[in-house]
Structure 1
């Protein structure tokens, strides 16, 4: 019987964190250790390296996944280890796992098999306390809001127009809608309230989009928590607690350094969800990694319609990041699901279903290369149930699209299972680097493609890649000065394939209010199901011409975007019938089992 993820991780001998830091030129004074194998990076490191040139940023995204996930984090880690094995100075940037998924459906979320970040028990559970700090800062603001109501409501807040909920990092459906302020006069002002899961907190998104502690403090002050009876926004700064919130986040703002099983340095920092928030790790961590490494591999939550879209339109705008290559993770099993195969039958060979499901992958390739303007390579993440005929069919179809492709086996082989992928990533990065000035980093773009110059570096499977010309540089899907509806509709039609967008009466009112209060010039963060290109999880494959329904549009002013809520997306998930928590245990020595 094959060992489990946690058994593989526990059998591994970890290297002291100082040794991992030294690979990036970090000395003992640059690290603030949390035990032997994890540390935070001291703020002075940024001041020392900020003038250094950036390394190559590799963005890992995926097709539309199944509920079990397609191994995007595992591929990210395996690719990082493979680049290290090729002799490249490499760092990986990942999000911190939320306790919700850890105890819910997926179990541990630190990679898998021989492509993991370690110590995996620490990373999956309390780690360095960042999630708890975010929860505390969020709930301090909630407590201050109710305290203000209790003591006379000098700001004139309308209790019916309070938008700030509480948060906890756990799947707990019973907390979605609650009533607070019960218990008589001393218990506060009774009102309806509710909880979000911590990765959906605006404080988490704000932490991950801040450039430093000072910027974080200012952003926290801009958070909108309610409206007055006159319709004026009430912000955290009005309640005078944004400084205290920042104090709670003083250590959480520092990047966390750990290692992979292959010894590659890994920054695991921040954890916004990709279907609710923007779905990428903290800008501070990625920015620092780019100064310390030649190749930085990061991932964006869920498919290229969610995390990658937000990386381009939100993160790249805020941080100035320009990925040189995107890796699209695909699996045979997920594509069979998109081709009509039942979830419980995905381990059975079905070439017709696979062929039909490839339409989903084609749309994600189009999004990355044509909409976002990034060169892409498809990584087929191999599962034990995949047959040779299925892998041959999928690999051949991708090659026929003119896109480089590699089958990876990183769960079983670690970095050695992604060496072909790593070589193709390096070759593509070199082609981007050799493009004429401006072509590889044009944020607006004109939709044209440019052919690679003569003598550009090639790699396995690249000789026929992009026969119609090389993608010409990062392109935003919309401009910030466009109306909110125009931004939503460009994402819906260009990225998702929608035919139209419908707005509820509440969404119409919210959009008018946002634009009236000068919040209409922010990027749009789409809250959408991860299981379909549409807002309807049952529409698999490549749906086209559907109507996307926007239920509401709410400000996330601290993070610096507005959130368009579509479909039946939930900001507080629930546990499944048999949660992963039932399999997790600990013995008298403190050894954890069953985490994944």
Structure 2
């Protein structure tokens, strides 16, 4: 089955219910919804606090194989599974991330699912939504401004201007701002220094918002942000500059999760959106824990492939928030497995069972990796019209050999009807209660050993290459009391290695660590491997060129 409508046309034709009705299904009273228009609302902090003693539902993680240009459809499957669970009579909610304007106007387009498995209102979600990212941008840049202002007015904290680590952010891809010189123009404008911009989703403030449990925790974490160092190498924090209170004020409303709905009028929480290769790539802890108190099943996703997204979800988010997933769904497509098996983008429409079988090595590696966390996994084959029976059967056979099951899903074309089999299987796994979740490494393992643990057990690297400076930095942080923090790996999403062109399941490689950064507020150590851009550039033909408003007032070209 196919449909000729575009995602945006389907979204526009949606029969949306007033957001109060969606809230009522979860037991949220109208007075605890802060509406933004008729179809989206924030859930009050007061209501969230009242849920503290309620038991949690079951958490289901949707992850995927390493992404390819062919697309895997992780968000689409997350939405489809949430709809499918509701269709078979379960109380289920979805938790996904908010979209960044950078990718929207860059290469990737929107991020709200696709086909008949979407979250709406799609245009709003992909643009300003409820203003959360603007608030994060403002709070981040307030701190950046207060750093330079503090130095201008005498620098009582004795910040070494050569060692300021806190950059500025904006939510647009702009390579011209990666490296800048600021404070030019003479005495009145301060002391010239080098600086730069990251994209908002790479901001530590974003990571903090997504890991904080409430406003008090948020403010404490903001205060812990290290903005730079003095000449004696001692850290200067946001709290030292007295910026934490004002930043928390700017983020008060942004801390409240956003409630929207799927095309089938099922509840969806869309909140936060840290980059998955630079930061931890999960929606907010507040949204996930709130959903778990209100629904029996919560379907959430982690960024990119399981080597990045699922690992960070388990080792950072679940560890920090006391969450334990009951099941994992790994999304794969015939097309993406063909690419992992060596087929170019132009050859994806032709049947190639051999390439599918070869590409299954990537899927198999992810299945093996997830078993290490003690959570049972099932594979969702996200169906495309060009898939042949022989190709689908090849995946099913392979996955059977890995001790689990692959289920064909047609949610893109059929909505919840296309995921009922997957939903039934997920319920069966959850009800068996086989999950015995444990993070990959203990808190008290030394930082460098944590890096080695991820590199060897998840990426299957033979060794970690790090120069003396990096190792010394990690030892210094341990001496300062940061040794218990988890690791947030920043590497390419396209491969288990740091080389984006090495698809499949490579072995015999090394993991080079370029630098390490301490995110003391977020509560993790960022380990940068290979070339990672914290401020993307726009492509030669950005998506922005095709986005416009039609004569009827509709937004065109967003998806």
Match of 1:510 among 464, 470, 473: 473
Q: Distance in 1 between matches of 2:162 and 2:476?
A: 16
| RMSD between superposed Cα atoms in Å | 1.2
1:236 equivalent to 2:232? Answer no
For residue 373 of structure 1, what is the aligned residue in structure 2?
374
Task: Name which of 547, 550, 565 aligns with 2:513.
Answer: 550
After TM superposition, the structure 1 = structure 2 runs for residues 285-300 of structure 1, keeping only pairs within 5 Å, are: 285-300=287-302
Aligned counterparts of 2:442 and 2:210: Cα–Cα separation in 1: 22
Q: How high is the TM-score relative to the length of structure 1?
A: 0.92
CA offset at residue 343 of structure 1? 2.7
2:202 aligned partner: 200
Q: How far did 1:564 drift?
A: 0.4
1:475 to 438, 457, 460: 438
Match of 2:374, SS state, is coil
| 1:473-497 per-position Cα deviation (integer Å, ceiling 9, x unaligned) | 1121111111111000000000111
| Mapping for residues 428-439 of structure 1, pairs under 5 Å | 428-432=429-433
1:269 corresponds to 2:271: yes
1:149 Cα deviation after fit: 1.3
Deviates more, 1:397-406 or 1:177-186: 397-406
The number of residues matched between the two structures is 557
Distance 1:114 1:475 in 2: 35
Separation in structure 2 between the aligned mates of residue 273 and residue 412 of structure 1, nearest angstrom:
29
Q: C-alpha separation between the residues in 2 aligned to 1:132 and 1:400? A: 48
Determine the C-alpha separation between the residues in 2 that align with 1:66 and 1:349: 18
2:449 corresponds, among 475, 480, 486, to: 486
Q: TM-score, normalised by structure 2?
A: 0.98
Deviation per CA, 1:234-259: give whole Å up to 9, x if none.
10001100100000000000010000
Report what 1:316 is aligned to: 318
State the 1:303 CA deviation.
1.0
Q: Deviations over 1:534-590 (max 9, x none)?
A: 111111100112100001110111111110000101111111122211221113543
8 Å Cα contact 2:70-2:336 kept in structure 1: no
Q: Identify the match of residue 495 of structure 2 among 508, 532, 536.
A: 532
Q: Which of the residues 120, 132, 141 maps onto 1:130? A: 132
Q: Contact 1:75–1:329 (CA<8 Å) still a contact in 2?
A: yes
In structure 1, the gaps of 5 or more residues are 441-472
State the distance in 2 between where 1:109 and 1:138 align.
24
Matches within 5 A, 1:169-568: 169-369=171-371, 371-432=372-433, 440=435, 473-568=436-531
CA contact (8 A) 1:510 1:552 kept: no
Structure 2 Cα separation of the partners of residues 301 and 83 of structure 1: 22
Give the 4+ runs in structure 1 shifted more than 6 A.
Answer: none
Judge conservation of contact 2:362–2:505 (CA < 8 Å) in 1. yes
Structure 2 gap ranges (5+): none
CA distance in 1, matches of 2:329, 2:61: 6
1:95-115 deviation line (CA, Å, top 9, x unaligned): 001111111112111111111
1:168-227 CA-partner distances (Å, limit 9, x unpaired): 111111111111011111112111111111111000000000000111000000000100
- Determine if contact 1:504/1:549 at 8 Å carries over to the other structure: no
Q: Could you say what secondary structure the match of 1:49 adopts?
A: coil
